[in-house]
């Protein structure tokens, strides 16, 4: 646990919390009694949370930063869309960092997939240092949760921003042939130079953690919301309905086809989940 004075204290949660069914989470702000010579420190009170994610448990996130790779591994945009949905559902601001831009000759077309969505895109390279100042500016003063596929370079990026962290990266563990994921639990990392805290998370259980009905999904696509008032049907899901303005925008190239296709896929997943619930 980190205190305001920058010192780390080891504290245990009081038994009362267990009785109340409350569990301290990484990211919690707490009132505590520091340890003394013979008596261990204790967490006395957990302050109200701004937000919280269940799996992995983490609280008070200011920003969910989705890291993807412009090169290898190929960006899983379905995962990006799910993470954006997850952030929207939990009222957390999201941004995307497109890493490894030095490894491709052509400019990535991925940001175009999100035109009209209002999602902030940063193009960065941990290796060449490109975009790192902008990334630092974004992280400054915030509690940011890094998310994304493995091997997209999350740890390398964090090392590039704050060399003092000395995080073990995927490349290193490949070299030592330990063959394991480098990040297994949410770890909080302090970046004092930016007055920031970062959580490197091992991955989220996304769809399982959201109570979203298929009809609600469209509300999480900012680029749809502006148009859907003009669709012929009020409850238009933008699938097969006639005179659908979202579909027209896709055909006209105003909304990316890929993003729309992934929306249909996600919608189908939610419909199937609902059907299975009642079996």
Give contact residues for Zn ion (rule: CB under 5 A): 231, 236, 238, 244, 246
- Minimum distance, C-beta of residue 241 to Zn ion, in the bound complex (Å): 6
- Minimum distance, C-beta of residue 236 to Zn ion, in the bound complex (Å): 3
Nearer to Zn ion, 86 or 221 (CB): 221
- Minimum distance, C-beta of residue 245 to Zn ion, in the bound complex (Å): 6
- Minimum distance, C-beta of residue 263 to Zn ion, in the bound complex (Å): 11
Nearer to Zn ion, 56 or 116 (CB): 116
CB 260 within 8 A of CB 250: yes
Nearer to Zn ion, 104 or 225 (CB): 225
- Minimum distance, C-beta of residue 251 to Zn ion, in the bound complex (Å): 12
Nearer to Zn ion, 198 or 249 (CB): 249
Nearer to Zn ion, 67 or 246 (CB): 246
Nearer to Zn ion, 212 or 237 (CB): 237
Bridge partner residues of 45 (DSSP) = 31
- Minimum distance, C-beta of residue 216 to Zn ion, in the bound complex (Å): 15
Bridge partner residues of 11 (DSSP) = 41
- Minimum distance, C-beta of residue 253 to Zn ion, in the bound complex (Å): 17
Question: 92-128: b or e for each residue (b if 16 or more CB lie within 10 Å)?
Answer: bebbbbbbbbeeeeeebebbebbebbebbbbbbbbee
Nearer to Zn ion, 77 or 244 (CB): 244
Give the long-range contacts of residues 19-25, CB within 8 A, separation 24 or more. 22/46, 23/57, 25/49, 25/52, 25/57, 25/58, 25/59
Give, rounded to a whole angstrom, the gap between the first and last alpha carbons of the chain.
Answer: 45
Closest CA to 152 of 114, 124, 113: 124
């Amino acid at each position: 646990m980190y205190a305001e004075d920058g010192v780390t204290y080891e504290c245990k949660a009081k038994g009362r919390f267990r009785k109340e069914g409350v569990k301290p989470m990484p990211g919690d702000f707490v009132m505590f009694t520091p340890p003394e010579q013979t008596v261990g420190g204790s967490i006395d009170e957990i302050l109200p949370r701004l937000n919280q994610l269940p799996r992995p448990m983490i609280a008070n996130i200011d920003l969910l930063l989705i890291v993807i790779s412009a090169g290898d591994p190929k960006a899983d945009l379905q995962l990006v869309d799910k993470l954006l949905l997850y952030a929207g559902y939990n009222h957390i601001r999201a941004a995307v960092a497109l890493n490894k831009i030095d490894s491709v000759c052509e400019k990535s077309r991925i940001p175009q997939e999100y035109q009209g969505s209002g999602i902030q895109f940063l193009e960065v390279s941990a290796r060449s240092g490109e975009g790192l100042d902008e990334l630092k500016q974004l992280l400054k003063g915030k509690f940011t949760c890094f998310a994304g596929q493995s091997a997209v370079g999350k740890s390398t990026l964090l090392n590039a921003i704050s060399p003092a962290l000395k995080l073990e990266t995927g490349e290193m563990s490949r070299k030592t042939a330990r063959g394991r994921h480098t990040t297994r639990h949410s770890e909080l990392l302090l970046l004092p130079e930016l007055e920031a805290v970062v959580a490197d998370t091992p991955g989220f259980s996304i769809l399982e953690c959201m109570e979203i009905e298929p009809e609600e999904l469209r509300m999480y696509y900012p680029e749809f919301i502006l148009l859907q008032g003009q669709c012929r049907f009020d409850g238009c899901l933008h699938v097969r309905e006639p005179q659908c303005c979202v579909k027209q925008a896709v055909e006209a190239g105003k909304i990316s086809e890929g993003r729309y296709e992934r929306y249909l896929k996600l919608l189908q997943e939610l419909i199937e989940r609902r059907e299975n619930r009642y079996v």
